[in-house]
Amino acid sequence: MVQDFDRPPDGAEELAALLERSGAEFVREGNRFRFRFSSRGCAWQTVCDCQETLVLIYSIHPTPVTAQEKALELCSRLNSQVVEGSFFLQEEHFIFRTSARLTERFEAQTRIAAALEYNAAVLSTWWERLAAGAQGTPLTD
């Protein structure tokens, strides 16, 4: 008989429990979650896709990209500086993706929370540079 703690964690259930416990407003569509995130005075949409024991976190910078070539160059520069995750362009917006791989149920929510916090810290750290880069106006380092 498999004990409850022996089963692999379910990313969608663990994320739902974490968001409910934190009081965050979110929309769940199957294994996809959408919610607003804010940090350091910045606010953006976050989308999480859960695939069994993997939670993929996508934060979407709200400034529309009008200078795609410059924006792609900025993605490359920022990707050389982030430790985990990566920037890319999709539907004329900068996206920063990180993930949480869940191995044990007792620490699943902690791993998801850490990945969400890292994702938010990176996006808010580069917020102004991303906004300028979306319009093709680079900021100096």
Q: Which residues, other chains included, contact 41 with Cβ-Cβ below 8 Å and sequence gap of 6+?
A: none
| Rg of the chain, C-alpha, whole Å | 16
* 65-105 per-position pLDDT tens digit: 999 999 999 999 999 999 999 999 999 999 999 999 999 99
The closest alpha carbon to 95, from 70, 51, 126, 67, belongs to 126
Model confidence at 3, in pLDDT bands (50, 70, 90)? Answer: low
Across all residues in the chain, what is the average pLDDT? 92
**How many Å separate Cα 54 from the centre of its chain?**
13
* 106-118 per-position pLDDT tens digit: 999 999 999 999 9
Residue 128, pLDDT score = 93
* 75-86 per-position pLDDT tens digit: 999 999 999 999
Model confidence at 42, in pLDDT bands (50, 70, 90)? Answer: confident
Whole-prediction pTM: 0.91
Residue 18, pLDDT score = 97
**How many Å separate Cα 20 from the centre of its chain?**
18
Residue 1, pLDDT score = 47
User: pLDDT > 90: what percent of the chain?
Assistant: 84
